[in-house]
Amino acid sequence: MQSTLSLSFSPSSSAAAVSRSHTTRFSLNTSTPLNLRFCGLRPQALAFNASGNHRSSKLPSRPRSQAISAALSANGSPPKFFDYDLLIIGAGVGGHGAALHAVEKGLKTAIVEGDVVGGTCVNRGCVPSKALLAVAGRMRELQNDHHLKSLGLQVSAAGYDRQGVADHAINLASKIRNNLTNSMKALGVDILTGFGKILGPQKVQIGSSDKIVTAKDIIIATGSVPFVPKGIEIDGKTVITSDHALKLEFVPDWIAIVGSGYIGLEFSDVYTALGSEVTFVEALDQLMPGFDPEIGKLAQRVLINPRNIDYQTGVFASKITPARDGKPVRIELIDAKTKEPKDTLEVDAALIATGRAPFTQGLGLENIDVVTQRGFVPVDERMRVIDSNGKLVPHLYCIGDANGKMMLAHAASAQGISVVEQVTGRDHILNHLSVPAACFTHPEISMVGLTEPQAREKGEKEGFEVSVAKTSFKANTKALAENEGEGLAKLIYRPDNGEILGVHIFGLHAADLIHEASNAIALGTRIQDIKLAVHAHPTLSEVLDELFKSAKEPPEYSSSSGRLGHIQKPVVGNRWKETTDSHGMNSRGVLDVVLSLFLSFFSAFQRCLASMLHFSN
C-alpha cells in the first residue's frame, strides 16, 4: 500500500510546497496514537493526540475472516478460516513487543502464556536484577570514603535491610508485569492462559483442555530457562540459579559463581557490594569470555581485582553438592582440557551462571516435522521456522531465546516486530550486528557489533583493513565532575569506506551511551558523517563524539573541500550520499539559492505593491 507524505509551507516562511510518495507504509498523521515505551517494552495503554489530550487507543483493523473452530478440521490440514490473524506463544518481552506492534498494524491478536506475563526478563531476569544492582550501586557510593571525600561529602557507615532489598526487586517485577498485562488488555490483545502446543498447520491447543484456536500466522516466543550442567545439584537454597538468587533469601559470606559472563558479573557486583566474598569458576582460560579482550582486561582491573573476588580459570565444576547436615557446599573442580581433578572448594553457596537453555519442550514441534538443534528452533534470517527437510514451515515463526540467534530480551522484541512487518506485507530483515548489549555492573560495560578479533578475522576473509580508535573517560568533563574518570570507549571501523564494525564502552552509563553507535550501524551511517554530529556540552555523550572524531576519514573524504557546507540527502539503504555539480555545488544548494532569490524578489514586490497602494490612497 502506498502512502503520501505532504509538507506545505506558507509564503511567509518558505513559499514552497513539497509532495512525495513513498512505497513504504509511513505517514505523518498527527492523529495517530503515540506509543510510549519503558524498559524496552511498550506497556502504556493510553495514547495522546498532538494537542496532548487523552483519546481512545483503539486502532483500526483490517477485515477478518469469520472465526471457526479448528476442531472441525483434521490436525494435519490448515483451516479455511481463523480465530486470529496472529497468535503468539509466550508473553515475555519478545511476545509483548510483537503483540503490540501487531495491534498497531490492525491484526486481531492473541497471546498464550502458561506461566506469568513478562516471562524471564520481567519476573526472573533483567528487571529484578536491575533493582538489586541499583542497591549495589548506592552501597558502593556510600562505602567509598575516598570518592565521597573528593566530593566534599561525609557519610556515616552505610547498612542495608536484606528483606527490604528483596522486596524492592519483587515489587518492581510485579509493577512491570501488571503494566504489561493491562497494556495488552487495553489494546484488545486476548491473553489465553495455558501452555500452547502446536497441533498442526496454524492450529494451537491451549493448556490440557480441548480448547483449540487457529491463526493465520503463529509466533513461537517461549524464551529460555537457566542451563545447569550435569553433576550439579540445585536445591534452590545453597546451590542456586539466577532465578533463585533474585529472591535474595540470604546473603552468604562466601559464594562461588560458576561462569563469568553477563549473569555472573552482575551478581558478583551485587554480592560484593552487600559484603560477600566471591570466587569465580570459569571453564575458559580468561574471565569475561565474549567481551572484547581489551575491554575485558580493563573491566577485570576495575571490577574484579580491587574487590573481594578471586577466581580460577580453565576449570570445570564437575560436581557440586548442596550444603546439608552442617556441611558446606562442596565443589569438585577438574581441568577443562585434561579432565583431571584439580581442586575442591567448600563455600557457603554456589550460583550457577553458565548461561541459558531454550524452553521448547512440549511445543508439539513434531506435529509439523520440526527438529530442534540443541533445543533451539531452526529459523532463517526472517525468523521463519525450518522443518527437518530444510523447508520453511508456512506461517510459523520463532523469535527470542527459543531460536538462539541472540539471547537478549530486546533482541527478541526486535525480532517480533520484524516478523509482524513481514506478515503485514513489508519485507524486513533485522541486522543483529546493530543490536546492542550491556552488562550493568559499576561501572557498566556495553557493546554493539564485532569485537576487534572478530573484525580482523572478517577483514582477512573479505580483504579489507581494520582500524581502531579509542578515547578515555578521563578526558570527559562530565565524567570528571562525577569523579568517575575510569573508562574507555573503543571504535572498530573500516578506514577505506568509514563503515562502523563495532563499538565497545566501559565506564559511567555505558549502557545508555551505546545506542548512538547502535543506531549508526542500523542506519548505515559512516564515520565521515557521524563525526559531524553535535553533542551537548558537558555531557557523557561527548565520549562518543570524541571517539568518532578521532577516527580517520576515508581518503576521498579527507580533502579540504569544506564538508560542513555540503547538504546531504538519503538514498536507498539508509546511506547518505553527496550530490554535486561540476562546479562543486550540490543540487540541493542550487535549489536553496533559487528559492532564496525568489523569496527576496517576492518580498520586494510586496513592499513595492504596498507603496503603490499607499500613494493611490
Is 614 catalytic? The answer is no
pLDDT at 566: 37
Residue 505 belongs to a domain: yes
CA dihedral over 232, 238, 240, 242, signed as positive or negative: negative
Whether residue 214 is found in the same domain as residue 362: yes
More confident residue, 109 or 156: 109
Give mean pLDDT, residues 349-359: 96
- Judging by beta carbons within 10 Å of its beta carbon (0-12, 13-18, 19+), is residue 240 exposed, middle or buried? buried
- Backbone dihedral angles phi then psi of residue 135, each to the nearest 5 degrees: -65, -45
Whether residue 188 is found in the same domain as residue 163: yes
Instruction: Indicate which residue of 168, 535, 537, 566 is catalytic.
Output: 537
Residue 583 belongs to a domain: no
- pLDDT at residue 34 greater than cutoff 60: no
pLDDT at 537: 97
pLDDT at 209: 76
Whether residue 119 is found in the same domain as residue 250: no
pLDDT at 604: 64
Beta strands in 290-415 (DSSP E): 309-313, 315-321, 329-335, 341-347, 349-352, 356-358, 384-386, 392-398
Whether residue 382 is found in the same domain as residue 524: no
**Residue 440 identity:** F
Whether residue 350 is found in the same domain as residue 405: no
Range of the domain at 88: 84-225+358-424
Whether residue 350 is found in the same domain as residue 362: no
Task: Provide the pLDDT confidence category of residue 69 given band limits of 50, 70 and 90.
Answer: very low
Task: Provide the pLDDT confidence category of residue 53 given band limits of 50, 70 and 90.
Answer: very low
- Cβ(201)–Cβ(212) below 8 Å: no
Task: Provide the pLDDT confidence category of residue 75 given band limits of 50, 70 and 90.
Answer: low
- pLDDT at residue 269 greater than cutoff 80: yes
Residue 53 belongs to a domain: no
Residue 143 belongs to a domain: yes
Q: Which of 324, 354, 384 is the last residue of a domain?
A: 354
pLDDT at 601: 65
Of 154-163, 421-430, 574-583, the poorest mean pLDDT is in: 574-583
Q: What CATH number should be reported for the domain holding residue 471?
A: 3.30.390.30
Q: Which neighbouring-strand residues pair with 214?
A: 203
Which positions ≥6 away from 128 have C-beta within 8 Å? 169, 170, 172, 173, 246
Q: What CATH number should be reported for the domain holding residue 320?
A: 3.50.50.60
What mean pLDDT value characterizes the chain? 84
CA dist 126 and 224 (Å) reads 13
Whether residue 512 is found in the same domain as residue 536: yes
Residue 595 belongs to a domain: no
Q: How many domains does the chain have?
A: 3
pLDDT at 79: 76
More confident residue, 399 or 581: 399
Task: Provide the pLDDT confidence category of residue 78 given band limits of 50, 70 and 90.
Answer: confident
Give mean pLDDT, residues 342-360: 97
pTM for this prediction? 0.78
CA dist 219 and 399 (Å) reads 7
DSSP string, 469-498: EEEEGGG-HHHHHTT----EEEEEE-TTT-
Whether residue 171 is found in the same domain as residue 280: no
pLDDT at 42: 43
Task: Provide the pLDDT confidence category of residue 54 given band limits of 50, 70 and 90.
Answer: very low
How many C-beta atoms surround the C-beta of residue 262 within 10 A?
Answer: 23
Whether residue 115 is found in the same domain as residue 172: yes
CA dist 356 and 406 (Å) reads 12
Whether residue 400 is found in the same domain as residue 343: no
Residue 278 belongs to a domain: yes
pLDDT at 358: 97
Residue 66 belongs to a domain: no
Q: Which of 522, 555, 588 is the last residue of a domain?
A: 555
Of 42-46, 213-217, 403-407, 432-436, the poorest mean pLDDT is in: 42-46
Per the rule left: phi > 0, alpha: psi between -120 and 50, beta: everything else, 606 is alpha
Residue 614 belongs to a domain: no
pLDDT tens-place string over residues 523-580? 999 999 999 999 999 999 999 999 999 999 998 765 444 443 333 433 333 333 333 3
Which positions ≥6 away from 578 have C-beta within 8 Å? 566, 568, 586
Give mean pLDDT, residues 480-499: 96
Whether residue 307 is found in the same domain as residue 263: yes
Q: Which of 354, 374, 407 is the last residue of a domain?
A: 354
Whether residue 499 is found in the same domain as residue 461: yes
CA dihedral 241, 246, 250, 254 (to 10 degrees): 50
What is the Cα Rg of the chain in Å? Answer: 28
Looking at the chain, how many residues does it have? Answer: 617
